[in-house]
């Protein structure tokens, strides 16, 4: 799996040329998901990668947990992408699908669970069993997980019927949210870490930053100082931080110039030990620095 890929989260169906721009800039991994752009992004990616040698990742969506539903979800993804197999298939979310996305503070979160998703710990294993079968039948060249906590990962690895271990855990990772216990566990279990929201995510507003008592990550003085020292952009500094920790990355942009710059800038400099230490010191602890999934009551991932 390439260490640097191109992410497609929050791109729209109308952004058809963006993925092609990334491939022309040298990206050789494209990350997408069944749910992106209301189910349209896989089709956009499929057209862009046609007749190209590209590593393709897509993700199972939480509304399709369970054995048969997972097989259906993957079949839809393969059809949209126009391929017989994907290089990496991830379980996007360890928790339940919702029966409704517009939620009220006056109702319990359990009241929104999709019917049949009440016992997620067991249902998640049925999802994984379907993913194993897809891998063993050649529809996925590797399988992994996303947004798994230490508890979720330990339960999967301890499953007596486990046949195929996850190769990747794609999680939110950046200086404000470093998830050190999870990083340690993944490294110990030889599960590759792939970081998303490396630049601080797109789900946070000025109100959210104010509540954190921190500036947007791209504007933090430690990031700006390193950028100035290397003649680089703040984005390049944050991507270097991730790569120097050994995390694969999937940055995204709609701008062809930024896409090309991100691809070209990453090998031009290394952060010093002091610069890495300054960025490492920004961790807000636990899940306090989580900047994505802002509208989701389960965003802290503190469920079985």
**pLDDT at residue number 59:** 98
Per residue, the 3-state secondary structure of 205-272, as one string, reads: CHHHHHHHCCCCHHHCHHHHHHHHHHCCCHHHHHHHHHHHCCCEECCCCCCHHHHHHHHHHCCCCCCC
The pTM (predicted TM-score) of the whole model is 0.94
- Active-site residue 36, yes or no? yes
Q: Per-residue pLDDT averaged across 110-121, rounded?
A: 77
pLDDT of residue 201: 79
**Residue 103's pLDDT band (boundaries 50, 70, 90)?**
low
**Calpha distance 302→304 (Å, rounded):** 7
Task: Tell me: is residue 92 an annotated ligand-binding position.
Answer: yes
> Active site residue: 9, 27, 36, 112, which one?
36
Give residue-wise pLDDT tens across range 119-149: 889 999 999 999 999 999 999 999 999 999 9
Span 69-82, pLDDT tens digits? 999 999 999 999 99
Residue 64 has pLDDT above 80, yes or no: yes
């Amino acid at each position: 799996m390439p260490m640097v890929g191109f992410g497609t989260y929050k791109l729209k169906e109308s952004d058809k040329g963006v993925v092609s721009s990334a491939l022309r800039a040298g990206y050789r991994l494209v990350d997408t998901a069944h749910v992106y752009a209301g189910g349209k992004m896989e089709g956009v990616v499929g057209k862009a990668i046609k007749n190209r040698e590209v590593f393709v990742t897509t993700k199972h969506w939480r509304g399709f947990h369970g054995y048969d539903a997972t097989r259906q979800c993957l079949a839809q993804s393969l059809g949209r992408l126009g391929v017989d197999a994907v290089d990496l298939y991830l379980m996007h979310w360890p928790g339940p699908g919702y029966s409704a996305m517009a939620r009220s503070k006056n109702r319990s979160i359990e009241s929104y669970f999709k019917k049949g998703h009440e016992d997620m710990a067991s249902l998640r294993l049925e999802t994984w069993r379907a993913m194993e079968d897809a891998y063993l039948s050649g529809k996925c060249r590797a399988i992994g997980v996303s947004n798994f906590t230490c508890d979720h990962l330990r339960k999967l690895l301890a499953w007596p019927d486990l046949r195929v271990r996850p190769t990747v855990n794609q999680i939110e990772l950046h200086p404000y949210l470093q998830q050190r216990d999870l990083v340690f566990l993944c490294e110990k279990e030889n599960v590759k870490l792939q970081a998303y929201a490396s630049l601080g995510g797109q789900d946070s507003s000025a109100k959210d930053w104010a509540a954190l008592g921190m500036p947007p990550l791209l504007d933090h003085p430690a990031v700006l100082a390193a950028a100035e020292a290397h003649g680089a952009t703040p984005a390049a500094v944050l991507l270097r931080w991730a790569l120097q920790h050994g995390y694969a990355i999937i940055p995204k942009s709609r701008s062809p110039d930024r896409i090309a710059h991100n691809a070209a800038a990453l090998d031009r400099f290394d952060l010093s030990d002091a610069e890495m230490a300054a960025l490492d010191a920004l961790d807000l602890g636990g899940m306090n620095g989580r900047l994505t999934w802002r509208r989701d009551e389960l965003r802290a991932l503190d469920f079985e």
